Amino acid sequence: MHPDEKNIQSVKSYKILLPIIIGLAVAAFLFYREYHPGMFSSIVINRQVIVYVLLAFLMMVLRDFGYMLRIKILAGGQYNWKNAFQVIMLWEFTSAITPSAVGGTSVAVLYVHKEGIRLGKSTAIVLATSFLDELYFILFFPMVFLVITPDRLFGLHSAAISFSSEYFYFAVTGYLIKLLYILLVFYGLFINPSVLRRILTGIFRLKFLKKWQLQAEKVGSDIVTSSGILKREKPAFWLGAFLATVISWSARYLVVNFLLLALYAAIEPDKILSISDHILLFARQLAMWIMLLVMPSPGGSGFAEAIFSDFLSDFIPVGFVSILAFSWRVITYYPYLIIGSVLFPSWLNKHFVKKEKND
């Protein structure tokens, strides 16, 4: 049995409900804190509002399209769109019910493998997707400082710009973790996988790390296997996969831009967001996702809503921060819980329950 098969079969309903409960509880608290009578009387739902909301949903569709396109590229034509959709939705579902620092990567190899890809290549595909995701953050986060000053990026409010903010340290910590990870993966995949495997196994022989020794040995073996597969790929392969990655992450960030435009159209139709406002909004979301890496809650639930409300509050009209934060999670997070809850039982039954009965 694959090391993660027991984990994937142990997914219980409470693991699905927990992030929902946490997220709704935080959203309810934030709403209660800023609620005042008559706050909804100024909202006018018009055609412009509907168009912007639909565009926000379209950005998530584009985001998933980019992910599916990427996995089709990485699979070398062995996946059709149905396979790609199934894998991505299950992958996102697992990410949504596990801590952000863990994500769905730990069981993603099984999703890829069970959809018709041999195990060695499945491991290579998952490592490649992880590498490309981290590469996006590693490249784009420093780039935002070419157009946005650090004080604007990390200033929570116009009168409270300070590097003493915990968000600055969350972002730096998350970025350093990502940088270390991508350097190790790059070295292992493209330079010397055998040395990295020996380093990993050596480190995890230490007494206080020994309980993770088997997992470390597996990671080392996976890197060696994946290296042999990925080194043979041409530059066009990596360029296509990375462009798909850029489409996916960038589209996800633009969801908030369109939701904010919808809110302005509903309550402040004369309000205009400048290009620099849109860029700053995009950049702060980039920083937010880096911060979510260090959060222990499932899918970043609770922290995501709280940081959204605080970190982006200077863009959002007073009294509507919690509503926009909740709307953002409704579009970018909860759909994966719903879709995954529908797909996962049938997928589990097809690949494990029926298999055990036949055996």
Q: How many other CB atoms are there within 10 angstroms of residue 352's CB atom?
A: 16
Q: How many other CB atoms are there within 10 angstroms of residue 95's CB atom?
A: 23
Q: Helix or strand or coil: residue 271?
A: coil
Write down the pTM of the prediction.
0.82
| Domain assignments of the chain as residue spans, ordered by start | 5-358
- In 3D space, the residue among 74, 63, 75 whose CA is nearest the CA of residue 247 turns out to be 63
Q: Residue 159 has what DSSP assignment?
A: T
Dihedral sign from CA coordinates of 190, 194, 195, 198 = positive
Maximum CA pair distance of the chain? 67
pLDDT at 34: 60
pLDDT, one tens digit for every residue, the chain (359 residues): 444 555 555 455 555 566 666 666 766 666 666 655 555 666 778 899 999 999 999 999 999 999 999 999 999 888 999 999 999 998 888 877 765 444 456 678 888 888 888 878 888 898 899 899 999 999 999 888 888 887 788 764 444 444 446 777 888 888 998 899 899 889 888 998 888 888 878 877 877 667 767 777 777 788 888 888 888 899 999 999 999 999 999 999 999 899 999 988 888 777 778 888 888 889 888 888 887 766 655 545 556 666 777 777 778 777 777 778 788 888 888 888 888 888 888 887 777 655 545 55
Contact in structure between 304 and 292 (CB atoms under 8 Å): yes
- List pLDDT tens digits, range 37-89: 555 666 778 899 999 999 999 999 999 999 999 999 999 888 999 999 999 99
* Helix (H) or strand (E) segment spanning residue 338: helix 334-348
C-alpha–C-alpha distance, residues 26 and 14, integer Å: 18
- In 3D space, the residue among 307, 227, 308, 254 whose CA is nearest the CA of residue 59 turns out to be 254
Hey, what amino acid is at 172? V
Contact in structure between 295 and 101 (CB atoms under 8 Å): yes
- List pLDDT tens digits, range 134-175: 999 999 998 888 888 877 887 644 444 444 467 778 888 889
pLDDT at 243: 97
Q: Helix or strand or coil: residue 298?
A: strand
Backbone angles phi, psi at 99, to 5 degrees: -55, 145
